[in-house]
Structure 1
Amino acid sequence: MADLKDAAGGPRAVVAVGCLSERYGRDLAAELPEADAVLGFDDYPDIAERLTRIVAGERHVPHAPSDRRQLLAISPVDRSAAATSIPGHGAGDELPAGWSPPVLRRRLDGSPVAPVKLASGCDRRCTFCAIPSFRGSFISRPPADVMAEIAWLVGEGVQEVVLVSENSTSYGKDLGDIRLLETLLPAIGEGTGVRRIRVAYLQPAEVRPGLLQVIAGTEAVAPYYDLSFQHASPSVLRRMRRFGGRAEFLALIAQIRELDPLAGIRSNIIVGFPGETQEDLEELVAFLVDARLDAVGVFGYSDEDGTEAVGLADKVDEEVIRERVESITSLVEEIMAQRAEDRIGEQVTVLVEAIEQDDAGDWIAVGHAGHQGPDDGATVLALEQAGDALVGEFIAAVVVDTDGVDLIAERS
């Protein structure tokens, strides 16, 4: 990118922004001499002025990283008064209650699916995670702000929004209502015109029966549950400073499937966490076999700078971690393929994301059903010709076959 500055019409400056820039600040600037500046979150409120000066050739002094958890009050309900820059959150103290300023941004693609930030930061202290140190404590976006962005996205052609945060189940606790998500989801469906809402990252220990009922009972909300289990052995989970275990997680899954037998459930798993024994691994395997999740991401543990887990004893050998990752990955791939086969004959509603030609040159529509996250497998429909379906169209279909975790469907 820096080399392009010398090309006609190329960028006038290269500026690093985002979580990596916030976390490492001046250290990153020293490692990236090609960058004209490294901006932290506190630069965002005046970013137009910052960029103007950088383009004009002024040197920007990068920030010294600090623990952003110290910038907000310990009590969640006191956090909105803090004069702290939080990416994706508009400054609203001077605005009328319930009013949100117009969205001033441009979409960079034409996808019918778009993420929408629900909140920033996290109050949990998982020993393997560094996110709270540079994203800060949990703080929710006001409902009016979220709905205004979604309404704007709908006007830009978006059909599905994915509500994202570090912990969506905590939404509203700093606004005085821990159950605010149960109110927000139906309001989005009724008040923005969006066709499908998907909620990402639910913390199992905080999932409430009422929230499950709203997700299952609100027409616009996808039957999709993104649950961050991380493991199933109670001893490993306690070392991670997380709650629950195999029995509790299976009970939660049973509750979801009782409400919606066709729901999609995904999760992430960390293998090889310090102190993980063969017995712990067997507990995880037993859970995965019984849970029969639709999508699972498997990750091998590695030390993360600034986390408590770095100092934990009984580290698992790297070669053992690789072997365990391969073993668990093989298991979940088989389980996910079986789950896909179980859906043969099922009625699905597919959001078309692309019109393509397959290896044989035949036209196909590629998208995902309600139970599938955008990155958790696809649903493919055969077309007579390219114009038989449109990107952004919802198609009622029936599953007739599978290809690994992907579904093959026909119009119903």
Structure 2
Amino acid sequence: MKAKTLKKDKVNIITLGCSKNMVDSEVLSGQLQANDINVVHENKKLDHNIVVVNTCGFIDKAKEESINTILEQVEFKKRGKLDKVYVTGCLSERYKLNLEEQIPEVDAFFGTMELPLILKQFEADYKTELLGERLLATPRHYAYMKISEGCNRTCSFCAIPLMRGKHVSKIMEELVAEAEGLVKKGVKEVMLIAQELTYYGLDIYKKRMLPDLLNRLADIKGLEWIRLHYAYPTKFPLEILDVMRQRDNICNYLDMPLQHASDNMLNAMKRQITRAEMEDLVSAIREKVPGICLRTTLIAGFPGETRDDIEELKQFLAKERFDRVGIFTYSHEEDTSAYKLADTISQEEKEQRAQEVMEFQQEISYELNQEKIGKTFKTLIDKKEAGRYIGRTEFDSVEVDNEVIITGAEKLKIGEFYNVKIEKAYDYDLEGVVME
């Protein structure tokens, strides 16, 4: 592709949204690099002449951030600082025609599954031999690995199937090869991600194959941590937990979004589960893997939600005492079945309810962290910040969970494991010292 500048093209990829988007950006980067095109992630030097914005369209705030980022890059182009602006990802998949009309300065918009078409803009070929190869945007010691694409669930609030399509599992042998390749690059922790992790294999193997995949991945030498994200609670395959208990390098950690706890809301959200069934599942999980860290995500302000529903949610949290909780405010998404419901709760009230729930959970998080004082945990060092080393235990995923602040350490290696004794604990962070 010929650009206005005489210098060789340099492509900057800006990734918005979730870890699944990050993997897509990494794959695009790997393909561009294999075609001898200079590519970087989130370039701070600003010495690039082409930008690809990988957008998120999940909720209103994410859409707004995506639009603002596109407009910002278009402004750079107008001022002559960029030659080309391309847009891909979920927002582009869902609103391509509208975006083309409203932001004509963008050179091209692409959907979530149009990687070969993006490459054509660079006169580059899609290299099938690079299956699983990518240029990591994360520090080299950890990586996300997408085991499937899309979702077959019909949750009433969720637009993901509209943007990502139906569930499609990746072939197991390809995933094992991808993980082996990541380990050769220095990756020690792999975080398995999917819109619906437990559905893995049903489409191509006609049965749930996540336990088999976990065993195959756990056999890879040098892969020290395998972490599970985004498991759906309905018909949860408990045999996953048998593998987790048996294999030392599968973290005792499960990210399982529940969304709410009142039957009124669960039914309206089309979650296909009741509060009693969720309580039984949580109990069964903890019985199979004692000490497991459970993370969940909730939604506040869904249409029809009452104060009683919020109180029931808080009672549920008090009873189950999840280790980690995140919460979104409900976003009214076109073409979802909930869009037909009147969105009568104001944004201010939604945010107030979310804050109320998080403040309630904050006390639980503090109490659970206090129980860690005096205990020693295997800790992976992620970075050095303000003169202090920051790490994570097997119970903590990147960015969303606790960090362990290491005190009194002079020379630790980023990406290495150390035994850290916890001396102080706060709501969401721990402090400790390295044990010799």
TM-score range, shorter chain: 0.7 to 0.9
Structure 2: unaligned runs, 5 residues or longer: 1-72
Structure 1 position 244 matched with structure 2 position 270: no
Matches within 5 A, 1:60-139: 101=130, 103-139=132-168
State the 1:109 CA deviation. 4.4
Structure 1 position 372 matched with structure 2 position 396: yes
Q: Would the aligned equivalents of 1:5 and 1:11 in 2 still touch at CA under 8 Å?
A: yes
**What is the aligned partner in structure 1 of residue 96 from structure 2?**
25
1:192–1:116 distance in 2 versus 1, CA, 3 Å = farther
**What is the aligned partner in structure 1 of residue 21 from structure 2?**
none
Q: In structure 2, the residue corresponding to 1:137 is in which secondary structure?
A: coil
Q: Separation in 1 of the partners of 2:296 and 2:323?
A: 9
1:252–1:309 distance in 2 versus 1, CA, 3 Å = same
1:23–1:330 distance in 2 versus 1, CA, 3 Å = same
Q: Separation in 1 of the partners of 2:349 and 2:77?
A: 46
Structure 1: unaligned runs, 5 residues or longer: 54-87, 92-99, 358-362
Matches within 5 A, 1:151-190: 151-190=180-219
Q: Would the aligned equivalents of 1:150 and 1:192 in 2 still touch at CA under 8 Å?
A: no
**What is the aligned partner in structure 2 of residue 57 from structure 1?**
none
Q: Separation in 2 of the partners of 1:311 and 1:248?
A: 28
**What is the aligned partner in structure 2 of residue 50 from structure 1?**
121
Q: Would the aligned equivalents of 1:246 and 1:283 in 2 still touch at CA under 8 Å?
A: no
Q: Separation in 2 of the partners of 1:288 and 1:112?
A: 34
Q: Separation in 2 of the partners of 1:125 and 1:402?
A: 40
State the 1:313 CA deviation. 4.4
Code of the aligned partner of 2:404? T
State the 1:336 CA deviation. 1.4
Code of the aligned partner of 2:99? L
Q: Can you list the C-alpha shifts for 1:152-181, whole angstroms capped at 9, x where unaligned?
A: 222222111111110001001012243311
State the 1:24 CA deviation. 1.1
Q: Separation in 2 of the partners of 1:194 and 1:250?
A: 33
361, 365, 373: which is aligned to 1:336?
365
Q: Separation in 1 of the partners of 2:434 and 2:287?
A: 28
- Of 150-159 and 232-241, deviating more is 150-159
- Of 107-116 and 208-217, deviating more is 107-116
1:45–1:113 distance in 2 versus 1, CA, 3 Å = same
Q: In structure 1, the residue corresponding to 2:234 is in which secondary structure?
A: helix
Q: Would the aligned equivalents of 2:409 and 2:433 in 1 still touch at CA under 8 Å?
A: no
**What is the aligned partner in structure 2 of residue 399 from structure 1?**
422
TM superposition score normalised by structure 2: 0.77
**What is the aligned partner in structure 2 of residue 348 from structure 1?**
377
Q: In structure 1, the residue corresponding to 2:144 is in which secondary structure?
A: strand
1:128–1:186 distance in 2 versus 1, CA, 3 Å = same
State the 1:321 CA deviation. 2.4
Q: In structure 2, the residue corresponding to 1:174 is in which secondary structure?
A: coil
Q: Separation in 2 of the partners of 1:139 and 1:103?
A: 16
Q: Would the aligned equivalents of 1:147 and 1:188 in 2 still touch at CA under 8 Å?
A: yes
Matches within 5 A, 1:206-355: 206-313=235-342, 315-355=344-384
Q: Can you list the C-alpha shifts for 1:22-74, whole angstroms capped at 9, x where unaligned?
A: 11112112222332111124532343223339xxxxxxxxxxxxxxxxxxxxx
Q: Separation in 1 of the partners of 2:112 and 2:343?
A: 36
1:318–1:354 distance in 2 versus 1, CA, 3 Å = closer
Equivalent pairs counted in the alignment come to 361
Q: Separation in 2 of the partners of 1:272 and 1:285?
A: 14
- Of 308-317 and 277-286, deviating more is 308-317
Q: Separation in 1 of the partners of 2:259 and 2:182?
A: 32
Q: In structure 2, the residue corresponding to 1:225 is in which secondary structure?
A: strand
State the 1:105 CA deviation. 3.1
1:226–1:208 distance in 2 versus 1, CA, 3 Å = same
Code of the aligned partner of 1:392? G
Q: Separation in 1 of the partners of 2:83 and 2:174?
A: 33
408, 420, 424: which is aligned to 1:383?
408
Q: Separation in 2 of the partners of 1:243 and 1:403?
A: 36
TM superposition score normalised by structure 1: 0.81
**What is the aligned partner in structure 1 of residue 431 from structure 2?**
408
Q: In structure 2, the residue corresponding to 1:129 is in which secondary structure?
A: coil
1:399–1:203 distance in 2 versus 1, CA, 3 Å = same
1:260–1:410 distance in 2 versus 1, CA, 3 Å = farther
1:321–1:370 distance in 2 versus 1, CA, 3 Å = same
1:40–1:323 distance in 2 versus 1, CA, 3 Å = closer
Q: Can you list the C-alpha shifts for 1:226-278, whole angstroms capped at 9, x where unaligned?
A: 11110011121011001223322222222222233322111111112112222
Matches within 5 A, 1:134-153: 134-153=163-182
Work out the percentage of aligned pairs sharing the same amino acid: 32
Q: In structure 2, the residue corresponding to 1:17 is in which secondary structure?
A: strand
Structure 1 position 14 matched with structure 2 position 43: no
Q: In structure 2, the residue corresponding to 1:276 is in which secondary structure?
A: coil
1:216–1:5 distance in 2 versus 1, CA, 3 Å = same
Q: Separation in 1 of the partners of 2:414 and 2:221?
A: 20
**What is the aligned partner in structure 1 of residue 53 from structure 2?**
none
Q: In structure 2, the residue corresponding to 1:229 is in which secondary structure?
A: coil
Q: Would the aligned equivalents of 1:298 and 1:329 in 2 still touch at CA under 8 Å?
A: yes
1:275–1:108 distance in 2 versus 1, CA, 3 Å = closer
Q: Would the aligned equivalents of 2:409 and 2:434 in 1 still touch at CA under 8 Å?
A: no
1:42–1:183 distance in 2 versus 1, CA, 3 Å = closer
